Structure 1
């Protein structure tokens, strides 16, 4: 399960800046950029060393190869890859703007950092006997990066924000080594409890200018009845895997800034999460309303 390695990188808010051309920018605050470059590079290199020891050291190395995991876990993990790529790109962009780079350079290097950081994990996987690089992972990573970069280029703003929510399920009891032995592990490993959202800020579209800026409309995707990666394994166990689709209200904190950097950081992180709210679920050709999901 590769997703937890991507989330580990996302939690570090890594940025890899690979061009010295940026230092010619007249608005550049060099006192901020230099520590940012050094800290990010060290964090990036250190995280790769740590990941190698945690996930790959116990497995033999092979020649580089690909593995087709496109049909596993009802593609919930692919949604997670796109989510991670978007937010690593976002974090890189925000850090570079803080350091004084221009809008265009921050967008370019932020997108490049996301692709380089996440692709490096696929390289590790490709040489490991336990895994294998994945075309669909690379596609999902690219989609998440483009979702951020494209909106900034087209609208100079983010109108569609990927978000994440989680609830505990009973499925880890059947395979705790795979789906998690505690809440922290389940959060990353139990795809049954994960839902990924695209939250639309309608007030940023011309037809909905009078819509409250803090109130969004979100569409979500998840899956259920999975303790094995493939449908065949779950059916053999007696489960019927199913996809779940959601329509819900959501909350947007991106418009609110304060003089407190701590509060702004809290709002930034909070905006990555879909908070509990009323939702309409569609699954098994049936609709179900949740007062709080």
Structure 2
């Protein structure tokens, strides 16, 4: 089976956890504290009620998802002894960029939820930020015992890199100055294999690596706090790839008579750090935190194959 299907499973799971789980958790937490208008405000000291809610919610959500994957996905395939596979050359490493993104933001949301409960900084980083790595590594373990798949050392390293990116910034700067982000645009390549790359836009966002771009968005003010740079202005470095209808290059002619060439793309663009927008509303701060995973459309310079430069008035 094409490894993209495996990547789709992980991406779908992580993005559902990132967006739906985080929003629902705070909505439930809010209802528990109502009618307190400060329900979205992080506690100044340990709030045991909130902490228990966060721990139980995260445990139930992660455990339920893993059980669901095991029953609905892995049960369809034969088991095997635990083994690794080497998929590092597939999809021009776009899947690995997705793992870094998912691990970082799962960990960030986990830490922020513990911060909301008043948990100590040490425990936020240890138990909250470790959530992304622990969950995604558990998925790799399930893969490792499946005869159809296999655990990927590259995926595990990418998961570790995402977690390390979050934790290291908290330890060094006590803030997040560099944030992984995501953007997407439709491509023609999904038409070649719609069953794998998606037959609708909603599927292609999750499945078509050709249309995905992963960014490292750098907050300028954080590195020049004596300057007059607006606190919310970022510069983003992006990575993408096109020409891929299979994971490995040698299989491309099976699905297209065209001589499709796989190539990498690098981007330089402006961005906005939504978490730096000043507001007294803790609800808006929560919303901004959730949607700070998405790169804002902006003027962009694109470098293709290291030898061709393109300029986009607006790129997403």
Structure 1 length-normalised TM: 0.91
Aligned to 2:151, the other structure's residue is in SS state coil
Question: Following TM superposition, by how much is the alpha carbon of 1:291 offset from its aligned partner in structure 2, in angstroms?
Answer: 0.6
Name the residue aligned to 2:266: 245
Q: Could you tell me how far apart the structure 2 residues matched to 1:178 and 1:290 are?
A: 29
1:25-104 matches, cutoff 5 A: 27-104=45-122
* 1:126 maps onto 2:144 in alignment: yes
Q: Could you tell me how far apart the structure 1 residues matched to 2:93 and 2:63 are?
A: 29
Tell me if the contact between 1:3 and 1:81 (Cα under 8 Å) persists in the aligned partners: no
Aligned to 1:148, the other structure's residue is in SS state helix
Name the residue aligned to 2:291: 270
| Structure 1 residue ranges, 4+ long, deviating more than 6 angstroms after superposition | none
Number of residue pairs matched by the alignment: 283
Q: Could you tell me how far apart the structure 2 residues matched to 1:68 and 1:153 are?
A: 33
Given candidates 221, 231, 252, the residue that maps to 1:213 is: 231
Distance 1:62 1:106, change over 3 A: same
Name the residue aligned to 2:303: 282
Question: 1:68-120 deviations in whole A, cap 9, x for unaligned?
Answer: 00000000110000000000110010001111111122111123222211100
Farther-moved stretch of structure 1 (145-154 vs 52-61): 52-61
* 1:3 maps onto 2:7 in alignment: yes
Q: Could you tell me how far apart the structure 2 residues matched to 1:255 and 1:292 are?
A: 22
Aligned to 1:12, the other structure's residue is in SS state helix
Tell me if the contact between 2:275 and 2:285 (Cα under 8 Å) persists in the aligned partners: no
Q: Could you tell me how far apart the structure 2 residues matched to 1:257 and 1:110 are?
A: 25
Q: Could you tell me how far apart the structure 2 residues matched to 1:148 and 1:283 are?
A: 29
Farther-moved stretch of structure 1 (152-161 vs 97-106): 97-106
Question: Following TM superposition, by how much is the alpha carbon of 1:206 offset from its aligned partner in structure 2, in angstroms?
Answer: 3.1
Q: Which runs of 5+ in 1 are unaligned?
A: 16-25
Question: 1:35-68 deviations in whole A, cap 9, x for unaligned?
Answer: 2222221111111111123321211111111110
